[in-house]
Chain A
């Protein structure tokens, strides 16, 4: 299947700093990528939809000024957690839409990034 790479896999930062997470589609172009957040023993929560060349679409309740998303190319989307606080500690996973079949395309996921804010 298609490969989605996410970096870093783990990051620890101090409260108040910003952290950038990268999501790359390695062997295909992804006009649309998604960012999810996963809490322990909970289902994945969609944070935002990232569209290449345009502004991201955020889900209700997700602060767009806190979680900055940039999708500057067809193979790279970045999530920046600004002024991180301990409550932002979580597992963040990106996914990329693969396939020319429009809405019937398959989604592939990155390995996830574990953020710990001290």
Chain B
């Protein structure tokens, strides 16, 4: 069974810092990996989708990388802002079916 782990569980940084969120998964046979953002009491907003054949995706200040062979992905946030404060979830779509397996998330707080 695919297991997804996110480190750290929580992170607090001052505004302007660059930061890296980590995600690891146990089964490298994946179709794709998605990073989501979740604000308190809200649903999930898709940030980046990386297909298994890709190594990275970029959107604005966000960059996600994928190393399928080692079972790792990172989400890089440049020049963090207080509005980036949220929980970031990593999810992997494995070879069986369409559903995603989620990590527990990293709770990010960016202080002014």
Contact = CB atoms under 8 A, between A and B. Distances in A.
Interface in A2-45: 4, 6, 32, 34, 41-44
A108 B93 CA distance: 13
Interface stretch (B12-20, B61-69, B77-85, B94-102): B94-102
Q: What class of interface size applies to chain B in its complex with A?
A: 20 to 34
Give the secondary structure class of A's interface. Answer: strand
Contacts, number: 64
Interface in B38-67: 41-46, 49, 51-52
Interface of B is mostly: strand
Contacts of A6: 43
Nearest to A57: B97
A49 interface: yes
